[in-house]
Amino acid sequence: MLRFYKKAVLIFSALLIISGILSYICIQNTFLNIPLLPHQDTQIKWRPEIDSDQYSGGQSTNRLNDTEYMLDMDAFVSSAIEHPYSALALRFIDSDGQAKLIDLSKYSTVSFNVKCSIENTLTFIVFTYDEKLSKKDDFLTYRAPSMFFTCNPQWQRIQVDLSRLELQLWWFYMFQVNLSHNDYFLDKVAKIQFSTTGQSPTDVTTRIQINQLELRARDWSVLTILAIVLGLIWTCAVIIFFRYHKRALTAELEQKLIKERPLIAYQQLSLQANRDKSKEALLKFLATEYANPELNLEITASSVGISRTKVNEILKLELGFTFTGYLNKLRLTEAARLLSESKDANIAEVAYSVGYKNVSYFNKLFKAEFSCTPKAYQQVV
């Protein structure tokens, strides 16, 4: 059994290592960070687009300083009209540079670092295509959930939860959409945009810088597949372990019974032929009286007519056991025979029939002798 257990430990150790490697790989693919900057290295292609209130009669302007390594823009918000703004958008494109809608539904957050030369309040906007309302190039008709954030002369990390953006009230009134229909979907996104707000400083140029812009995804299906695969692997491993454990235990027990057959009380004892009547009388007495729960060294010596020392001496020389060790060997071997003959045999009744008054003590001795409980022994032999 020791050899079997060593192999089992090696196999389970290998499975643990494999499970750890698979878990690491799957976790890495569950929580993905997709950088949008630097521009040339991103997996999601986009082009910069600037926007301002000039298209509605305003005088706000913006100038791009960099869009390769960071979004760097000088924004001038003019107070010439009631709702001025200046914005920079990332318009998503295909491999040919044509505008396209992309699926961002698997991404949970957008995060970035931001710094403004003058304290400012900006907004992050996601333009999502509405099948019933949206017109291809008219972004006013898109559902545009957004989130406000502050910006100051020190770099700060902003994290946007894409599931908790809000639609602006004016959009509902402009397109006569019921206020209760405030849901949005990220499976058709045209662009994301950073824009000034009604609380941005006016008639002054503000430098806005954004870097380390990235999308973060949580694809729980990967962990689901991992759980299923690991569950199947470990279930099969456990089933195989118990199947081979039963075989190994059965083989060991069979070898043990064969090896100890000369000690079985109900068979002829394989002692060397001798003329010592004391030995013969002692062995015959134990072979017939071992089931007596009151049997002890004193009773045996008295019944056979030899001293206690002589009893131990005979058993030690002939069989290598003390009186107690040999008596337990006889009883446990007989108990093993009874258990192997009937899988329905009552453990307590077997214990009593071979001379044990305490079932717990019998179970303890049996497990020490055969490396398994009496109940388990019944099932494997």
19-41: b (≥16 Cβ within 10 Å) or e: eeeeeeebeeebebebebbebee
What pairs with residue 59 in β-bridges? none
Phi, psi of 311, rounded to the nearest 5 degrees: -60, -50
Cα distances (Å, whole numbers) of residue 153 to 11, 60, 118, 119, 270: 58, 22, 6, 7, 98
Summarize the confidence of residues 40-60 as an average pLDDT: 91
Cα distances (Å, whole numbers) of residue 379 to 119, 253, 354: 79, 12, 20
Cα distances (Å, whole numbers) of residue 87 to 47, 72, 166, 212, 254: 14, 12, 18, 19, 84
**pLDDT at 256 (0 to 100):** 63
- Give the C-alpha separation, 164 to 160, whole Å: 8
Summarize the confidence of residues 185-190 as an average pLDDT: 96
Summarize the confidence of residues 158-168 as an average pLDDT: 95
**pLDDT at 181 (0 to 100):** 92
pLDDT tens column, 251-301: 776 666 555 544 444 344 444 444 467 888 888 888 888 899 999 989 988
Q: Under 8 Å CB-to-CB from 22, ≥6 apart: which residues?
A: 226, 229, 230
Q: Is the pLDDT assigned to residue 144 strictly greater than 60?
A: yes
Q: Is the pLDDT assigned to residue 25 strictly greater than 90?
A: no
**pLDDT at 381 (0 to 100):** 65
- Give the C-alpha separation, 353 to 294, whole Å: 13
Which class for 86: exposed (0-12), middle (13-18), buried (19 or more C-beta within 10 A)?
buried
**Residue 7: CB atoms within 10 Å:** 12
Summarize the confidence of residues 341-368 as an average pLDDT: 89
pLDDT tens column, 320-354: 889 999 999 989 988 888 888 887 889 999 999 99
**pLDDT at 255 (0 to 100):** 64
Q: Return the higher-pLDDT residue of 319 and 205.
A: 205
> 3-state secondary structure string, the chain?
CHHHHHHHHHHHHHHHHHHHHHHHHHHHHHEEEEECCCHHHCCCCEEEEEEEHHHHCCCCEEEEEECCCCEEEEEECCCCCCCCCEEEEEEEECCCCCECCECCCCEEEEEEEEEECCCEEEEEEEEECCCCCCECCEHHHCECCEEEEEECCCCEEEEEECCCCECCHHHHHHCCCCCCCCCCCCCCEEEEEEEECCCCCCCCEEEEEEEEEEEEEECHHHHHHHHHHHHHHHHHHHHHHHHHHHHHHHHHHHHHHHHCHHHCCCCCCCCCCCCCHHHHHHHHHHHHHCCCCCCCHHHHHHHHCCCHHHHHHHHHHHHCCCHHHHHHHHHHHHHHHHHHHCCCCCHHHHHHHCCCCCHHHHHHHHHHHHCCCHHHHHHHC
Of 30-44, 50-64, 199-213, the poorest mean pLDDT is in: 30-44
58-84: b (≥16 Cβ within 10 Å) or e: bebbbeeeebeebbbbebbbbeeeeeb
For residue 130 the two structure tokens come to 């509405």
**pLDDT at 28 (0 to 100):** 79
**Residue in the block written with tokens 């630097």:** 38
The share of the chain scoring above pLDDT 70, in percent, equals: 93
pLDDT tens column, 206-256: 999 999 999 998 777 888 899 999 999 999 999 988 888 777 777 776 666
Please say whether the beta carbons of 199 and 90 come within 8 A: no
Which class for 233: exposed (0-12), middle (13-18), buried (19 or more C-beta within 10 A)?
middle
Q: Is the pLDDT assigned to residue 315 strictly greater than 80?
A: yes
Summarize the confidence of residues 126-146 as an average pLDDT: 94
Confidence of residue 117 (pLDDT cuts 50, 70, 90): very high
